[in-house]
């Protein structure tokens, strides 16, 4: 909810999406999330040997800081001080790397709760990133998150392993903040659609265009959608030895890869629902 001063137009609300920086409000919010889920309890333990977060601390030192384990202080207050100093001096890349690292560790606190709290702050402070399937991903629209999460959840629940693997790979390549691979993220997104079509059609070795034609004969599928995804597949495929100009790495950016991931996720949700209604796959 907007603050009183914003509602009476005495102060301008925050409107700029934070892509390549974090302002003080966002940094403070994420630090508070760490405090709530992890750091307060760590500090209260006094000594690392008596903290249930000892394994996480050692993992941070070993895999994230990449520093000698024998430099970990015995006192937890000193550890917290080190965390705070670094957290408030990191640039946005290191800061996001840290919370992304925490979200993917085996922690002694509910990771889903931690991720939900992070997403609450990221949304409130207009960050251009959200956690999707435990990965920080460049997202600016909540509907985009819903589409991607639903596609992954549908594929996982139905054990469509190929679809899940391709979507997660597309997310990882898109969400790599230091070395994003937009070209291959796009290819993974369209490969997820192809994998689903192969499962539904029962033709595991058939390319996307042919499986879409097979599906159209078995269930309602709009011709424009069939043609659109067949053309997208042609653009992203190197099968004929020709790389379309659309897929030149220098011409691709975050918006291209995100658009393809969201579009393919939505199409996967659409195909899954249509195939279920047609009795081609079982409901879960």
| Domain coordinates in residue numbering, the chain | 4-127, 140-277
What's the CATH class of domain 140-277?
mainly alpha
CA-CA-CA-CA dihedral for 211, 212, 214, 220, to nearest 10: 150
Q: Please tell me the predicted confidence (pLDDT) of residue 231.
A: 74
Q: Would you give per-residue pLDDT tens digits along the chain (284 residues)?
A: 667 776 667 666 665 778 889 999 999 999 999 999 999 999 999 999 999 999 999 999 999 999 999 999 999 999 999 999 999 999 999 999 999 999 999 888 999 999 999 999 998 898 989 999 899 998 867 788 889 989 999 899 999 999 999 999 998 888 887 788 888 899 899 999 989 989 998 888 888 878 888 888 888 877 777 777 777 777 666 544 333 444 455 567 888 888 889 999 998 998 899 889 888 888 87
The whole-chain average pLDDT of the chain stands at 86
Model confidence over 150-164: pLDDT tens digits?
999 989 999 999 999
Give me 154's structure tokens.
């549908």
């Amino acid at each position: 909810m907007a603050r009183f001063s914003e509602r009476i137009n005495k102060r301008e609300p925050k409107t700029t999406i934070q892509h390549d920086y974090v302002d003080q409000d966002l940094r403070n919010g994420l630090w508070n999330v760490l405090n709530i889920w992890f750091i307060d309890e760590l500090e209260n333990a006094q000594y690392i040997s008596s903290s249930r977060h000892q394994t996480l601390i050692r993992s941070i030192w070993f895999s994230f800081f990449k520093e000698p384990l024998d430099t970990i202080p015995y006192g937890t207050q000193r550890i917290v001080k080190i965390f705070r100093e670094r957290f408030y001096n990191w640039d946005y890349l290191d800061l996001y790397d840290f919370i992304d690292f925490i979200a993917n560790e085996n922690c002694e606190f509910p990771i889903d709760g931690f991720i939900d709290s992070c997403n609450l702050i990221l949304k409130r402070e207009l960050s251009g990133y959200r956690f999707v399937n435990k990965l920080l991903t460049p997202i600016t629209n909540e509907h985009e998150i819903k589409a991607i999460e639903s596609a992954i959840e549908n594929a996982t629940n139905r054990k469509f392993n190929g679809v899940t693997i391709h979507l997660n790979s597309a997310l990882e390549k898109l969400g790599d903040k230091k070395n994003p691979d937009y070209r291959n993220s796009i290819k993974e997104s369209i490969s997820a659609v192809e994998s689903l079509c192969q499962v539904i059609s029962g033709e595991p070795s058939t390319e996307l265009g042919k499986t879409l034609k097979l599906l159209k004969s078995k269930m309602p599928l709009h011709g424009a959608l069939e043609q659109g995804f067949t053309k997208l597949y042609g653009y992203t495929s190197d099968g004929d030895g020709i790389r379309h100009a659309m897929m030149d790495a220098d011409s691709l950016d975050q918006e291209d890869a995100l658009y393809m991931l969201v579009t393919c996720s939505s199409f996967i949700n659409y195909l899954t629902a249509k195939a279920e209604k047609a009795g081609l796959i079982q409901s879960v």
